[in-house]
Amino acid sequence: MTRVAIYARYSSDAQSEQSIEDQVRVCRARAEREGWTVVEVYADYALSGASASRPQFQQLIRDARAGQFEVILAEALDRLSRDQEHIAGFHKQMSFASVQVVTLSEGAISELHVGLKGTMSALFLKDLAQKTHRGLEGRVRAGGSGGGLSYGYRIRRGLRPDGTPITGEMEIAVEEAAIVRRIFTAFAAGQSPRSIAKVLNAEGVPGPRGGKWTASLLLGGAGRETGLLRNRLYIGERVWNRQRFIKDPSTGKRVARPNPREAWITTSVPDLAIIDAETWDLAQARLSANRRAVLDLSSSAAEPTANRGERLGTVRRPRWPLSGLVRCGVCNGPLTVMGPNGRLGCANYVERGTCTNRRTILRGVLLPRVLVGLKERLLAPELVEEFVRTYVAEVNAANRERGARQAGLEQQRAKLTRQIRNLLELIKDGHGGAAMAAEVRDLERRQEELAQQIAAAGEPEPTPVLHPNLPALYRRRVEALEEALADAVTAMAATEALRALIDAILVFPGERRGEVTVSLRGDLAAFLHAAGEPEAGSGDAKKAANLTVGGLGREVMASLDAGTGFEPVTFRL
């Protein structure tokens, strides 16, 4: 008996789900004619064949490698994939798993089909993209929408005089248009985007897609003319084709790439204008003035602004060791750099006005406080003792659960062994048929699955053992790490080692004016890992810093790993 899996797919929301049922129906009919047994049906709804990141398609691959069927049946090869690289890789994986791929259109799939059909499918996608782009361009040049919906507008609903539904057209949303006018008027009058966003959030005005207002949402970027204050649709000019999308081959996701300005298409749509020309010009003049001021500050007299900007875009700035780890203790929002002196403040307070934490802290002050806290405050004996006690209890409970589960699986496997033995005896005596032989194979398959589950359960986890001089070892590691952070040669490796120890650094407003309280939150398992690494033989601080994180010291905890489910440790700095 040949076990077969059916795969079906359709790619567009505009298509009907009936397409899946039709594909499965004709595949079942083919399997019945061949005498195959359909064991599973996999179907992806409204997902393009240009991407391999389809849930059911990936499950199909996993089950095929697990040996759950011998044949994959689909209506056509392009149902499985339209990408040359993906279909070639899929064919290789199925060949390795000894699974035959058969389609109703092409028959049994070979390397020849993969090459020819893969090329045809790729050309189809390219041709489809070109035709879609051409159709959208024609719609835009005729005054229609090319896709996307800006704040201040909504999709127009209704019927045309001939009775056909209106599609691809927008109209002004009166309530949102009033907010747009208010933003432009305030900005043209000198109010900053940050203060505008704060006022709107304080009044409870929902932003685009129901989110919060931010300064960056209003400003956007000058190069692609993004951001509410740069949207020319508000003065009745639709700009289309500013960017294109290409697929990243490593992730399968689309990535935006800017088009040259000569490729942009601008059409007049005066009926969609929200802002008058005078207010628009005042706002754009202020945006240009602000941009020139920023560029002048970032350029030197000896170097042209454009060249310096291009060079800065290609230089990788050194990473601050605590970047992305510092958060507000009140709202848990990220802390952002405020001003040229490197002060950190709550982004939700600064950008949105949705937090009350107005305290700031210098970056140069925060890092030393964190390092001192790591050295002096973390590995308190009572803290380590409580952690180990809890961990041992968790290990013992997990071992008991693992043992009970393994015992149950062993009982099931023994039962299946007896059933298989009895059926084989009946077949030997001439009492069995094809159905009984098929049942034996099914029982054997279930027995193999149980064996895999038993093996996956693993061995009992050993009880952790602490090094007798754990705090002193750990303190020396942090001191070596501190020295390595100050060395340009080892700073990057030391930064990664430090970040591996910390989950978050929370900054709270203190009781007195200007005072802040800092709490460090981390996984104690990671700290104990760091302390358990063997001493660096050369005694060199840089080498010791590189050993801070990266392996499990047997002297500390033989089976301890980060993320074991314990609450993170938090202490004040």
Render pLDDT for 127-148 as a digit per residue (tens, 0 to 9): 666 766 666 666 667 666 666 6
Domain shared by 359 and 480, yes or no: yes
Asked whether residue 421 falls in the same domain as residue 518, the answer is: no
Same domain, 491 and 532: yes
The confidence score (pLDDT) of residue 275 equals 92
At residue 37, does pLDDT exceed 90? yes
Q: How many CB atoms lie under 10 A from the CB of residue 308?
A: 15
Q: Are residues 392 and 405 in the same domain?
A: no
Last residue of a domain, one of 278, 309, 344: 278
Query: Residue 440 pLDDT more than 90?
Result: no
| Residue 408: closest CA among 366, 371, 454, 365 | 454
Q: Is residue 284 part of a domain?
A: no
pLDDT higher than 50, residue 537: no
Q: What is the pLDDT at residue 470?
A: 60
264 & 341 share domain: no
Q: Which of helix, strand or coil describes residue 230?
A: helix
Residue 195 amino acid letter: S
Are 355 and 328 within 8 A, CB to CB? yes
Q: How confident is the model at residue 373 (pLDDT cuts 50, 70, 90)?
A: confident
pLDDT tops 80 at residue 32: yes
Residue 147 resides in a domain: no
Decide if pLDDT at 573 tops 70.
Answer: no
**Using 50, 70 and 90 to split pLDDT, how confident is the model at 117?**
low
Helix, strand or coil, per DSSP, at residue 39: strand
297 in a domain, yes or no?
Answer: no
Q: What is the predicted pLDDT for the residue at 177?
A: 92
Higher-pLDDT residue of 301, 393? 393
Q: Is residue 330 part of a domain?
A: yes
Alpha-carbon separation of residue 517 from 302, 373, 492, 507 (angstroms): 44, 12, 28, 6
Q: In degrees rounded to 5, what are phi and psi of residue 548?
A: -60, -45
Task: Identify which of 145-159, 205-219, 385-399 has the greatest average pLDDT.
Answer: 205-219
Number of domains forming the structure of the chain: 4
Tell me: do 481 and 435 sit in the same domain: no
Percent of the chain surpassing pLDDT 90: 16
Q: Establish if 288 belongs to a structural domain.
A: no
CA dist 572 to 326, 563, 569, Å? Answer: 14, 22, 10
Please name the residues in contact with 35: beta carbons below 8 A apart, sequence gap of 6 or more. Answer: 1, 2
The whole-model pTM stands at 0.45
Same domain, 554 and 438: no
Same domain, 36 and 117: yes
User: Residue 255 domain-assigned?
Assistant: yes
| 564 is a domain residue | yes
Query: Could you tell me the CATH number of the domain that includes residue 96?
Result: 3.40.50.1390
Which of 420, 441, 457 is the C-terminal boundary of a domain? 457
Contact between 264 and 237 under an 8 Å Cβ cutoff? The reply is no
> Would you say residue 293 lies in a domain?
no
- Domain identity same for 97 and 216: no
Judge if 492 and 534 occupy the same domain: yes
- Has residue 547 got a pLDDT over 60? no
What's the pLDDT score for residue 562? 29
CA atoms of 180 and 466, how far apart (whole Å): 63
Which of these, 516, 382, 406, lies nearest to 456 by C-alpha position? 406
Q: What is the DSSP letter of 551?
A: S
Domain that holds residue 201: 153-159+168-278
Residues 518 and 486 in one domain: yes
The answer to whether 75 touches 10, Cβ cutoff 8 Å, is: no
Based on its alpha-carbon atoms, the radius of gyration of the chain, rounded to whole angstroms, reads 32
Q: Say whether both 185 and 92 belong to one domain.
A: no
Residue 202 is encoded by which pair of tokens?
């304080």
Tokens 């302390």 -> residue: 531
